[in-house]
Structure formats: structure tokens, C-alpha cells
Amino acid sequence: MNSPETQFARLGSQRIAYQVLGEGPIDVVFCTGVSSNIDHVWDQPDAAGVLRSIAGYSRLILLDSRGVGASDALPAGESFGWEPWLDDLRTVLDTVGSERAAIVAYTDGCPLAMLFAATEPARVSALVLIAGTARYTSSEDYPYGFPLEEAQAQARWMGENWATELGVRVFWPTRVDDTRFIQWFTRYQRAAASPGKIEELYGQIFKLDSRHALPLIGAPTLVVATESRILSANHARFVADHIDGAELVVIPTKDLAPWFSHPDELSALIEEFLTGKQRTEEPQRKLATVLFTDIVRSTDLAAELGDRRWRQLLDDHDDIVRERVGRFGGQLIKTTGDGALVTFEGPAKAIPLQLGLRERLGSIDVRVRCGLHAGEVETRGDDVGGIAVHIAARVMAEAEPGEILASSTVKDLVVGSGMTFSDRGIRVLKGVPDEWRLYAIESV
């Protein structure tokens, strides 16, 4: 699905980029602060998924504040503060005709949201504050964060490591082995602001204090925190403790925010809080052939090759899997870091794919073991589950390096097809009831 069209609201002679998506009964405005580009955010599936989830029950409004993303720079000589960005938010809401909106805010977009809720209470129906804080630096009455005298050093560090792989390692440790994510995130940050601009902006942001706004917030508030070392959950606890009736949820990830580690959980939290309704999506059941693959000696290979060469090998593996799956009409459910999960309507196409995949991966010196089973699966969105998925995974675990194993169910389904199998005997599959006769697939 394409991203929504970017439009521009006028504030004097300056232009503020914004987008509108969805036609739900409530307005929701999304505030991201410095790390923002409303065009590029849609290129990342997890982030886009959360935003599209919100747009499914609301009219979602996104904006880039002046000085970042697709918006104009702040006027020459005007130093950064929350006031100009409050004007930007008001201007966009007025332009789209939103009299009252919920605000979903992220990191340094959170102080902006807090101040807007305190100064414009009639215009804010609810607040969701994700990985936010009212103050970044420590003081006698605020023991969290870093000392104020280190603010400029921290700002320089932000500028020096903006749009770099090190930034991903620090802020998004769950994605350090995901080359595509690193490429997207560094490109996204470059599109948000230059390193020099980031140093300048954070030099100001790290000095600001929004704690005085907290007791004045009357809107229902959800505070979402993680276990990140960069912005500890203590910041979020302080915010929740000082907003009357605020609810705090801590999601167990070391990432700065749960966009990329727990997108479904985050989407469900936001939806339930803003609508009062729990997500009740029922899984659908269907018959499918499930294929699991696993790279042989993946841990040893990673150690031998080093991080960069190992990530490149994984990228090559994923590209080959996608190409072969597309050619044979399968559905790539997900890559697993050192393998893949694929489904087919039946085994007649899955088996030729496996044989060709084994040969193609061998050309880049990757050996895989494969497991195949056919049975009833549960589909929920783009994911699958159920006992058939577990059986396929256990069948794969029984395979020797380079071997393709299938359950007897698969063999029975292709009787008369000319495919040849070798009996590998009866096995007990871990965590799966009964005994299972397995077969090695030899040829088509």
C-alpha cells in the first residue's frame, strides 16, 4: 500500500509538511519530534504497520515540525524551543479542521505533546507517550538522566553518530543484525535532519524541562516505556506519577521504543487505550504445507565470517529464498535470522522449491536443512501458527545437513507424482504427540 500524500500547511511564509490517512470517528495526531520524516517512515514495515493500525480506527494526522523532515527550516535567527513546534501543531490541526484530537507522541515529541495538552486542554482527548521524558538531564530534584554539564557533549555524540550503524546498535539493539533495517534507519535519519542540525537541536532539547506541565494535564494518558539503557523506564515512571490517573506500561525490550521489537503489542495497546475496545481478531484456519529451513552451523559461520560478512551472507540467503518462493507460488511468512518459514497451498510446489533452493544456496556456500509438513494452520494477519507449524519445525530439526525431510502426511499427499523418497524411520518429535515416520526427499 502506498504512503499517503504529503501536503503543506502555511504558517506565515513557511510550510509545514503533513499527511492524513484514515476516516475513523476520532482524530489522532502523531508527533515524533526531531527524528522525523513523514515520507520515509512508510518504507519500514513495522513502523508503517503501527501507523496503519491507528488509521484503521481514526483519522491519522502526521506532521514534520519546522526544521526537520519535509518541512521548512525555522526562520533565520529563531532558536529552537517548544513554542515554534506548538505553533506547528496548532497550524496543522487547524488546517485539517481538527478541533479535538488524541496525541500519540514518541521520544522528544513527548514534551511537545505534554505542553500542548497542558496549554490546549480542550483540543486534546487523550495522550499516548512512548519512550518519553519531561527532562533529559539530572538535577537535585530529578536523579535520572545525565548531568546538565554533559549536555553539549551528549549533543555532539548525537551529531557524530547520527545516521550511523553505531546509532542503531545503541538505540535499536534488537535490529543490529538486520542489514535492511540499518540501511532504512540511517537513510531515514539523513532525511530527518543533518548531523550538524541534530547537534544544534539536541543541544537545546537537553536543556529543556517540561515537568511543570505534568500536573496540568487532564487528558487520559498512557505512558509506554521500555528497558532501554539509553532512556530508562524511570523517566516514564516519573511522568506517569505526575499526571493524574496516567497508566504506565513497560514493554520488555532493550530498544529505545517498541516500534520494531513489539509492533503488534504496541498497536494493540494504543488501540485499546484510544477506543476502549480490545482487539478481537480471530485466527482463520486452513490447510497448508509448511516449510522450515535452517542454515547449518549458523553460529560457527557467524563467528568465522565476522559481523559484516555474516550479515551479507544472510541478505543473500534471504534474497534467494524470496526469489524461489515467488517463483513457486509460496508465501514467505518470515525469515528467522538463519532460516525461513514458508507456506504453500500444497506440497506439489513446495518440494521442487526445496530441491532448487538447496542447490541455489549451495552456490553461495550455504548448506541448509529443511523440514516439511502439511496440516491445519491458523492465520492471523501475515503470521501463521498451530500444531502443523510446530511439527514442520521439529521435522526440520531431525534433518541432517543438506537434507530435506518430510512427514508421512506430505508423502501421502503426492502419491503418483513421481517424486522419490527414502524412509528415515520413525521418530519422536520434541513437544509433539505420537510417533512420526519421516522421509528424505530425493528427487522430483
**pLDDT band at residue 220 using 50, 70 and 90 as cut-offs:** very high
Report the distance separating Cα 12 and Cα 66, nearest Å. Answer: 12
Q: 2.40.50.220, 3.30.70.1230, 3.60.15.10, 3.20.20.140: which CATH number matches 284-443?
A: 3.30.70.1230
Ranges of H-type helices in 363-425: 387-398, 408-413
Res. 282 pLDDT band, cuts 50 70 90 = low
Q: What is the mean pLDDT of the chain?
A: 89
Distance (Å, whole) CA 100 – CA 122 = 7
Q: Which of 294, 54, 34 is nearest to 162 (CA)?
A: 34
Could you tell me the pTM of the whole model?
Answer: 0.67
78 or 33, which is more confident:
33
Q: What is the pLDDT of residue 1?
A: 42
Number of other residues whose CB lies within 10 A of the CB of residue 228: 20
pLDDT in tens, 95-122: 999 999 999 999 999 999 999 999 999 9
- When pLDDT is averaged across residues 268-275 and rounded to a whole number, the result is 95
Residue type for position 405: L
Mean pLDDT score, 289-308: 85
Predicted local distance difference test score (pLDDT) of residue 283: 62
Instruction: Give the residue with greater pLDDT, 317 vs 273.
Output: 273
Q: Where are the alpha helices (DSSP H) in 306-366?
A: 307-327, 347-362
CA dihedral defined by 70, 111, 172, 389, rounded to 10 degrees?
-90
Burial class (CB in 10 A: 0-12, 13-18, 19+), 401: exposed
What's the pLDDT score for residue 278? Answer: 65
234, 134 in Cβ contact below 8 A?
no
Higher pLDDT, 347 or 251: 251
Lowest mean pLDDT among 250-259, 295-304, 423-432: 295-304
What's the rounded mean pLDDT across residues 66-70?
94
Residue 75 predicted with pLDDT over 70: yes
Distance between CA atoms of 220 and 240, rounded to whole angstroms? 11
Mean pLDDT score, 78-84 = 78
Torsion 176-181-184-185 (CA) sign: negative
Q: 282 by DSSP, 3-state: which?
A: coil
Tell me how far CA of residue 112 lies from CA of 117, 208, 260, 266, 381, in angstroms.
Answer: 9, 11, 23, 21, 34
Closest C-alpha to 167, from 185, 151, 184, 155: 185
CB 54 within 8 A of CB 60: yes
Provide the grid cell at 247: 497508566
pLDDT above 70 for 195? yes
* Residue 2 clears pLDDT 80, i.e. is over it: no
Higher-pLDDT residue of 128 and 204 is 128
Give the count of beta carbons closer than 10 Å to the beta carbon of residue 331. Answer: 15
What the block records as the C-alpha cell of 113 is 505533546
Domain borders along the chain are 7-275, 284-443
CATH 3.40.50.1820 is right for the domain spanning 7-275: yes
Q: What is the pLDDT of residue 381?
A: 67
- By three-state DSSP, how is residue 263 classified? helix
> CB–CB of 405/436 below 8 Å?
no
Cell of 19: 499527511
Q: 182-196, 277-291, 363-377, 414-428: which has the minimum mean pLDDT?
A: 277-291
Distance of alpha carbon 208 from the chain centroid:
29
Cell of 230: 539509553
The pLDDT score that the predictor gives to residue 444 is: 56
The confidence score (pLDDT) of residue 68 equals: 94
More confident residue, 326 or 138: 138
Helix and strand numbers, DSSP H then E, in the chain? 14, 18
pLDDT in tens, 396-439: 999 999 898 999 998 888 887 778 889 999 998 887 888 899 99
Concatenated DSSP letters for 71-88?
A: SPPPPTTPPP-HHHHHHH
**Per DSSP, what are the bridge partners of residue 226?**
251
Q: How many Å from the N-terminal Cα to the C-terminal Cα in the chain?
A: 38
Tell me the pLDDT band of 280, cut-offs 50, 70 and 90: low
Query: In this model, does residue 261 exceed pLDDT 90?
Result: no
Q: Angle formed by the axes of helices 110-119 and 82-95, to 10°?
A: 70
